[in-house]
């Protein structure tokens, strides 16, 4: 059967990665977590004491940083220069730095090219902020996933608690509001809904319900090929 590419964009904590993993598993597609790629560079910048506001330094750091995404049942395992950083890139330090790292045009250009290569054989589900608008403007199915800020903060908090990470609800809420503002007002590829994306508000929907909706839409698109 012919395969399509699926772009899932939306603000932090809308449930994109959970849903993208489910959709990829059901369709036997590859899941690519593009946020993890920006997090991997932010992690490396912190490790090497690179100034995250300095575009030239970050772009040259990226040239010598090999970021490898290995698809698995629980999402992508992430390696930076052969060291596994899957958990490290979720730390609060990385989370606090990643918006600044991802705001630089030089960084985005290289990341976007890599992401396009990863999706070039079709059969990929990518989640991020600019997948439907910049990375895969021709994706056969584009989803813009949203949820209220309170619900997004609550989900992130629960996820942290489940994984035994340090977590404070109010701080997460403020962090999400900050990141929403930065991601949607930055000059380079700000977070915005593609004109041909289907918007799904997941505030009152379970991940299963959202994944079922997306799989239904995907089936329609595949049949229409």
Binding site for ligand DC (CB under 6 A): 12, 34-35, 38-39, 98-99, 102, 128-131, 179, 183
CB of 35 to ligand DC, least distance (A): 3
- In the complex, the smallest distance separating the C-beta of residue 109 from ligand DC, rounded to whole angstroms, is 12
Of the pair 12, 197, the CB lying nearest ligand DC is at: 12
Residue 148 CB, nearest approach to ligand DC (Å): 17
Which of 1, 195 has the CB closer to ligand DC?
Answer: 195
Residues 6+ apart with CB under 8 A from 21: 31, 74, 75
Are 24 and 31 contacting, i.e. CB atoms less than 8 angstroms apart?
yes
Q: Which is nearer to ligand DC, 157 or 179 (CB)?
A: 179
Both tokens assigned to 10: 């939306």
**Could you give the 3-state DSSP secondary structure of residue 37?**
helix
Shortest Å distance, C-beta 188 to ligand DC: 8
Neighbours of 140 (CB within 10 A): 18
Nearer to ligand DC, 154 or 222 (CB): 154
Strand partners, 57: none
Q: CA 105 to CA 40: how far, in whole Å?
A: 17
């Amino acid at each position: 059967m012919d395969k399509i590419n699926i772009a899932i964009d939306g603000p932090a904590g809308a449930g994109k990665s959970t849903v993208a993993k489910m959709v990829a598993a059901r369709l036997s597609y590859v899941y690519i977590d593009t946020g993890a790629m920006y997090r991997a560079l932010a992690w490396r910048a912190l490790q090497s004491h690179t100034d995250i506001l300095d575009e030239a330094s970050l772009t040259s750091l990226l040239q010598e940083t090999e970021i490898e995404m290995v698809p698995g049942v629980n999402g992508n395992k992430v390696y930076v220069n052969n060291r596994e950083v899957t958990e490290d890139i979720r730390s609060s330090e990385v989370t606090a730095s990643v918006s600044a790292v991802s705001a630089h045009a030089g960084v985005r250009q290289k990341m976007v090219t890599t992401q396009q290569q990863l999706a070039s054989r079709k059969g990929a589900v990518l989640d991020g902020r600019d997948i439907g608008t910049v990375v895969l403007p021709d994706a056969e199915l584009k989803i813009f996933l949203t949820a209220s800020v309170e619900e997004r903060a609550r989900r992130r908090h629960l996820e942290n608690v489940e994984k035994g990470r340090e977590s404070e609800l109010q701080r997460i809420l403020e962090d999400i509001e900050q990141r929403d503002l930065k991601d949607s007002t930055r000059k380079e590829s700000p977070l915005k809904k593609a004109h041909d994306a289907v918007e799904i508000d997941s505030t009152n929907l379970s991940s299963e319900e959202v994944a079922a909706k997306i799989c239904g839409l995907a089936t329609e698109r595949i049949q229409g090929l």
